[in-house]
Structure 1
């Protein structure tokens, strides 16, 4: 698009020079650097500025994409942990039901075997006590795992909060760059108006030196 605009401006300038007459010698190409140093044209300055801002916006978009992917990974991990917590909660309920059944069974056996002798009753009590100990050990292990899972879930919540803060800071930076773009656009438009006014006052100016360059949002 910029190449086509440059060609159209060059052709229109050439037509104006041919209509004006042969009193001025037309220079080819862009403006030559002054002896004191290289001076960029307005079009080059605008192009360099847009390329710089475009690079900054691309970097911010990459950071935003990385943060977005991290967010979905965190949410997926949190959902997985919540599902595991529900499953472990159901397992704990099932174990408690089994414990209640063992307690009930033990009481029934005590009632039925009271007359069978102290030795047999002791053996049955020890057997049930061992089963109850194993169930309690298993349940305590699950409860410990649940505690660890809850702690991990809390850490993930903190990470999500950090992600939200980073997202806010990124949006603030993007808004600041957009505001700079708007200010630069306004400044370039003022410079174009001043440049056009100066050219209209200089009747002997070489028209090929004036090149219109589009604003950042064109």
Structure 2
């Protein structure tokens, strides 16, 4: 069932506050003020800050998973095509949903218990998260000789970290890379191409031809 208008306002406000202050630093009054409701109304929908945080985090993870075209990832004709789609999807989501990525990073910094719970719940449904799909593709590409033998887990982590880092450290990046990063959208488009170029050519088996430019 879709959330009511008030619930959606609470979700949006809570996401912003939790992303900025983390679960520990956020206050229910801040969230109520951001949602333009009183604190009693907020507690009518969510009895505690923990209940609200869990609901918002679950909603954020679902939006992240839904942002990827799972069929497109599975149906890619080559590892190069899958890599490009994975990078494009990750960066595009981070770009469009900065608050969600900040929330997920914050949850990781506090130990990630909720993230683990949601991923385990997803696996029980038989649906694989995009990183798991991509990890399987790395193993297949090694077996077929498209890429050289590498550690799939380390490779996956390297790619994800490379995609996320500009958003985690945007102020630093814009100071260090000014004026290159002054046009943020253009910088991110170039960033996607750079990540693909560095990762693919670092992994590609010498006998495999390079893919054409995107």
TM-score tier, shorter chain, comes to: under 0.3
- Greater helix percent: which structure? 1
TM-score where L is the length of structure 2: 0.20
TM-score where L is the length of structure 1: 0.20
